[in-house]
Amino acid sequence: MSEKLPFQRSEGRILAIQNGEASPLFDSAFHGSLSPSPSLLIERHEICPTEWQTAIIPEQVLILYLRRCTVEYKYDNDYSHSVDRTKGTVVIEQRGCVQHFRWSTAASVLAVQLSNTAIEQATEASVSPLEGSRSVETAAQDTRLSSLLFALERERLHGYPAGRLFIDGIEQALAAILVRYDGIARRTAQVYKGGLAPYRMKRVTEFIHSHIEQEITLSELARDVGLSPSHFCSLFHKTSGKTPHQFVLHCRIQHAKTLLAKPSHSILDVALASGFRTHQHFSRIFRRQVGIPPSTYRAQC
């Protein structure tokens, strides 16, 4: 059974309809800080065994199980069924459907909620017809989804050091996979061909360099050239061979290399001036791209 419900987001939390009211999907307090993205909500929860619950999840939610647990589901005929969830299992929750369930054992989960906009844009940007889609039950074995969600969990554990653009990119990737599942896509797909026009690529590059010290979001880059985020991602990758996040990191490191040649700037100053939040994150990305630590690069200048 499904229902169409009016629904509003509330303070960055993942919500469900329970007893006719909107309330947090999980009773437990989530671990860590809120997602830096207002459209991709991320919550980590440690869940104790519960009694039976009834809930409707209005938005598109994914659950990544971080350790083995058991969940029991009850159906309209009072038949119940226990399901063992192993570490790495991904569940695509069916939005708008009444669910009766209880946690039979303690659980550790990462819950992620995508925006309707991301899903609609991913549907429109699909490069081939959405025929032959997969059942949502097969998501448990979809390593593409689990890999992306584990990447989000690692980012969350470190306080989201890569920033908003990284989260935006993950949301777009998740949405692009999800629209291949039954009942997720909302619109007829359109086909886009080719890459960004040279004037648009130049505009994007100029925008990045003029905002190099600041947080840069996928929506800002797409809006600056008059495209939707999904369409922009597809065309940008065809043009540059990189995702927007990878390209911005490359620009940040090139800017940092210029600053490192000036001894008046400390390495922390260089990191902050290049848009990195911490010395550690800057050093890790610099070494990955350049092959040596920032301090060694400076000594060679």
Please tell me whether residue 283 adopts helix, strand or coil conformation.
Answer: helix
What is the CATH T-level fold of the domain 196-301, as seen in this structure?
Arc Repressor Mutant, subunit A (1.10.10)
Residue 214 near residue 272, CB atoms below 8 Å: no
* Structure confidence at residue 28 (pLDDT): 79
One digit per residue, pLDDT tens: the chain, 301 residues? 333 333 344 467 899 988 778 889 988 788 888 899 999 999 999 999 999 999 889 899 999 999 999 999 987 667 788 999 999 999 999 888 888 999 999 999 999 999 989 998 888 776 554 444 688 888 888 999 999 999 999 999 999 999 999 999 999 999 999 998 987 875 443 434 578 888 889 999 999 999 999 999 999 999 999 999 988 998 999 999 999 999 999 999 999 999 998 888 899 999 999 999 999 999 999 999 999 999 999 988 7
- Supply the pTM of this predicted model: 0.75
Per-domain residue ranges of the chain: 15-114, 196-301
Residue 287 near residue 299, CB atoms below 8 Å: no
* Integer Cα distance of 5 and 56 in angstroms: 9
Over its C-alpha atoms, the chain yields an Rg (Å, rounded) of: 21
* Integer Cα distance of 106 and 71 in angstroms: 9
Mind giving me the DSSP string for 91-139? EE--TTBEEEEEESS-EEEEEEEE-HHHHHHHHHH-SS---SPBPGGGG
Task: Using CA atoms of 42, 221, 124, 145 in order, give the dihedral in degrees to the nearest 10.
Answer: -30
Q: Find tokens 């620009």 and name the residue.
A: 251
The CATH class given to the 15-114 domain equals mainly beta
Report the run of H or E that residue 74 belongs to, with start and end: strand 69-74
* Integer Cα distance of 213 and 51 in angstroms: 49
* Structure confidence at residue 155 (pLDDT): 96
Q: How far is CA 103 from the centre of its chain?
A: 26
* Integer Cα distance of 263 and 216 in angstroms: 27
* Structure confidence at residue 37 (pLDDT): 93
* Structure confidence at residue 172 (pLDDT): 94
Secondary structure E strands in the chain:
15-18, 21-24, 41-47, 53-56, 60-65, 69-74, 80-85, 90-92, 98-103, 107-114
CA distances from 68 to 31, 106, 247 (A): 19, 9, 37
CA distances from 50 to 54, 91, 100, 198, 251 (A): 12, 19, 12, 57, 49
Tokens of 72: 């029991």
Q: Judge whether 15-114 and 196-301 match in fold.
A: no
